[in-house]
Each structure stands twice: as C-alpha cells, then as structure tokens.
Amino acid sequence: MGWLDGLFGGKKREEGKPALPFAHELPLGLRINGRVAFDTLTFRANPQAWTLRLPEGHQGIPCYGYIDLRGGHALHRFYLDEDAYLQVSTANGQVEGIKAFVFHDTVNPANQTAFKRFIQDSPHLGAASIDYAGRTWFREFGDDVAEKVPPVVYDEVLYRHDPPRRDDDLTHYAMLYRREVPELDRDEFLLVTAEDYGPSEFVVTYALGIDLNTADLDIT
C-alpha cells in the first residue's frame, strides 16, 4: 500500500511519535537536545590570530531558531549550552553554508527610544567599516561605496523543549562584518544584531563567527 500512501499525502506518522511544529527538515541531522562538538585545533594552534574562541567539547542544543529568508532560502540556528550557536544556511533544503558564532558582548538599551536610536544612528549597524575588539571589520552587505547602509531586518522563530514547540519569536536588525585572518588565509566575522522581542524587551548582541564545513563538526 506504499504507493497509496504516496498518492494521498505521504506515509502516516509513526505511532507514538509527535508531529514536529515545523514542516521543514532540519539540516545535517541536527536537532533540539542533540549535541555537537567543534574541531578547535586551528584555534589552539593559532590563538593570537583569532578574536573568537569556539567552545570545547560536546555542546547540547537546547534551542533551535528558524529564519525564513523567502525564495526557498533559510537560516537554521542551533543554540548551544555555552554562549554560541551553529548557523546552517539552506536553499530549497540543500546546505549552502555553515558558520559558528560565539556571543562576545551584550548591551541592554535603557528603553525603546534608546533601542531605536541605536538602530538608526549606531555605526555598528551599517557603517562601511568599524573598529571592535581591537580589530577593524568591513561591512559584508549593501552598497560597497555607501558610507552607511540600513541594517538587514528579519524575523526568527525559536523552538525549545522535548518534543519541540514554538517558544518565542523576535525581529533582528543586523549587520555582518568581516576581516581577513592573513596568517591563516581565513575570514572571521562579526555579527551585530539589535534584537526586538517586544513589547519592552530589547537587546544588542555582538557575535564573532567563522566559516565551517561538515568535517569540523561531530554531531550526535
């Protein structure tokens, strides 16, 4: 009867297995309450070259964030026990890129007015280059010649618990910066994000990131 199942909408859900709250598949076998470890050899061998430090050992995944970029593109963020997350970008379900980010600093605006002022006026959300953590970083998005561009705006839905359920959502006002690590012919990233949880919860985060591939990950 398998062909009938396919004809009428796919196989039935396994008995006792709860339906997930999202229709899409999660990439790379990652999941809430799964675990992931990073290959940190390059950081341990060249600590002076990097601004970030990836967490050591296997990290639990208590939270998953989904960002629909439209047109079949999406970001999947797997938040870890330590202040870090693994981000997988997909196009029509196929993995296009993997980054790891480590939170470096958090700023709490005093009120909504201060939060909006940061979004509109801070050079950290759109200037062509900024200085941060003793390094110079260059903007990745927007017009190459513009002195300042508006931040990129997107919504994220957060899922937690077992079985997973929708737990929160927020709006990001973000800008990605990059710098070359000449000693290693690699790039390091700085993601500045003003996060609006509404109606009166706002935070600004600075996260340092790096490109990875599947060989850098141990997923269980």
Alpha-carbon distance of 201 to 195, in angstroms, equals 8
| Tokens 């006002």 belong to residue | 173
**pLDDT reported for residue 5:** 38
**pLDDT reported for residue 17:** 52
Backbone angles phi, psi at 138, to 5 degrees: -120, 135
Alpha-carbon distance of 11 to 1, in angstroms, equals 10
> What are all long-range contacts of 212-215, with beta carbons under 8 Å and residues at least 24 apart?
212/38, 212/86, 212/98, 212/99, 212/100, 213/98, 214/28, 214/98, 215/39
Strand-pair partners of 135:
132
Q: Using a cut of 0.95, tell me whether the model's pTM lies above it.
A: no
Alpha-carbon distance of 185 to 13, in angstroms, equals 48
User: Are 146 and 184 spatial neighbours (Cβ–Cβ below 8 Å)?
Assistant: no
**pLDDT reported for residue 8:** 37
Name the residue type at position 205: T
The residues spanned by each domain of the chain are: 26-219
**pLDDT reported for residue 145:** 82
**pLDDT reported for residue 18:** 56
Across the chain, which has 220 residues, the per-10-residue mean pLDDT values are 38 51 89 97 92 97 97 98 98 97 97 97 98 97 88 97 92 98 94 95 98 97
User: Are 51 and 81 spatial neighbours (Cβ–Cβ below 8 Å)?
Assistant: no
